[in-house]
């Protein structure tokens, strides 16, 4: 869960804004309970919503530098970073659902419409 929050925070609030070098991953040991994880997720979501509220067609086309460990950096459009962020979240959300099922726990929601319904 923390990786998903970190990925969104890094991609939207640091890579897109050109501040990648300022990003510091969260230390999982600092999160002692679900409330602390929830608070961090809500802070990241709020920053993402603020960014998306100001999004323009020109911003979607703007190129930003993106790199992963052990790979060369590349220029990609902001739109591609946002798509990557969504897919990253979907990927890990599916993993979390599978883990809950293995524990015989019904996930709180399993899709976007279920998520927005709980808001």
| pLDDT computed for residue 12 by the predictor | 96
Residues 6+ apart with CB under 8 A from 93: 4
Name the DSSP letter for residue 14: I
Look at residue 18 and tell me whether its pLDDT is greater than 70. yes
Sequence ranges of the domains in the chain: 2-117
Q: How confident is the model at residue 110 (pLDDT cuts 50, 70, 90)?
A: low
C-alpha span between 39 and 2 (Å, rounded): 11
Fold of 2-117: 1.20.120
The answer to whether the pTM exceeds 0.75 is yes
42, 36 Cβ separation under 8 angstroms: no
Q: What angle do CA 83, 87, 90 make, to 5 degrees?
A: 140
pLDDT, tens only, 48-74: 999 999 999 999 999 999 988 788 889
pLDDT in tens, 44-53: 999 999 999 9
């Amino acid at each position: 869960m923390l990786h998903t929050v970190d990925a969104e925070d890094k991609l939207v609030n640091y890579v897109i804004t050109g501040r990648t070098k300022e990003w510091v991953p969260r230390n999982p040991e600092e999160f002692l309970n679900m409330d602390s994880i929830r608070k961090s997720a809500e802070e990241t979501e709020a920053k993402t919503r603020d960014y998306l509220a100001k999004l323009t067609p020109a911003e979607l086309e703007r190129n930003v530098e993106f790199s992963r460990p052990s790979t060369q950096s590349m220029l990609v459009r902001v739109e591609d970073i946002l798509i990557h962020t969504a897919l990253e979240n979907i990927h890990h959300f599916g993993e979390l659902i599978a883990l809950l099922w293995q524990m015989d726990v019904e996930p709180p929601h399993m899709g976007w419409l279920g998520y927005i319904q709980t808001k």
